[in-house]
Amino acid sequence: MPAIERWPDILKADLETKRERLRQALDESGVPLPADRDLEDQLPRVFAFSDFVADSCIRDPLLLSQLWSSGDLRQPPASGALREQLKSVLQDTNDIRDLAARLRRFRRRELVRIAWRDLMGSADLAATTSDLSDLAEACLDQALGWLYGRQCAEQGTPTAADGTPMGLVVLALGKLGARELNFSSDIDLIFAFPGEGETRGADRSVEHGEFFSRLCRQLIHVIGHPGGEGFVFRVDLRLRPFGDNGPLALSFDAMERYYQEQGRDWERYAWIKARAVAGDEHAGQALLKRLHPFVYRRYLDFGAFESLRAMKHMIAQEVARRGMQQNI
């Protein structure tokens, strides 16, 4: 990258404005910036090319100080580390509003970390999209765990016929399912639960469908509702059975029946990327196995090929309509 002296004047002026804002924020907060030559070298590049990172660090100088001092900007987290870190962050959460606020702060910290490493060339495209996917999964899983525990205390625990507790399965399709999430992606989700029944252990039991539908609504609100720091992730549920008109969560039997009787070709292709990403992931694997015959047909006929051609034609028409032929 060229030296700052060779940057365009407009870029140098913007960088100097950001630096001055950072100096003021550091003075007002009393947070010292680590005295490190590497940080001094990297800061101009990152601030120049990401308003989000610059604004986040200026808004919260402690965020920058902690990220650098921890070494998180120099190396990727170990496998599973994000879930453990977020679990610790949420440990003494008081209520849903507090839960959402902590999730948003954690998301901002991690987005700054991921963007910084991306801009500095410390992480390639695959590592960046993988990190973003891990972040979404951690937020979904830990938020769901907190909400599930609270709701079980109020309404009892969903229980299988053999007495084992039953959890919600969160399946991701699209970019999150493929672990290709980018900085602006929404997350395509489908919710399911292993079987019908009633909760146990509370003064008033409720049917599993009611329990899990309420749980899904709360999870969607916590993850997708904008607050003081924006949303955690935008949630898209339109790929679920029956689309916007369908229930938020279906039992495994109901979901299998839907795809056997009404599943369309585009749904078959959408499920190719499906993964269990939060909740009872073991049960999620069992559901994916049950739906395997729908997703991967044993035999292909001319109708299947014609369906692919028609879908490709529709995509090409939509791309042309939006003038996005050169948009990769």
Per-residue model confidence as pLDDT tens for the chain (328 residues): 557 878 888 998 999 999 999 999 999 999 988 888 999 999 999 999 999 999 999 999 999 999 999 999 998 888 889 999 999 999 999 899 999 999 999 999 999 999 999 999 999 999 999 999 999 999 999 999 999 999 999 999 999 999 999 999 999 999 999 999 999 999 999 999 999 999 999 888 999 999 999 999 999 999 999 887 889 999 999 999 999 999 999 999 999 999 999 998 889 999 999 999 999 999 999 999 999 999 987 766 667 667 778 777 777 887 788 887 777 5
Q: Which residues of 309-323 are buried (b: 16+ CB within 10 A; e: fewer)?
A: eeeeeeeeeeeeeee
Find where tokens 């090929």 sit.
305
Q: Give the Cα separation of 168 and 153 in Å (integer).
A: 16
| Structural domain 71-296, CATH architecture | 2-Layer Sandwich (3.30)
Q: Give the Cα separation of 231 and 221 in Å (integer).
A: 9
Q: Locate the DSSP E strands across the chain.
A: 157-158, 169-173, 187-193, 199-200, 235-236, 249-251, 275-279
For 262, the 3-state DSSP assignment is helix
Domains of the chain, residue spans? 71-296, 300-328
Eight-class DSSP state of 108: H
pTM of the model: 0.90
For 138, the 3-state DSSP assignment is helix
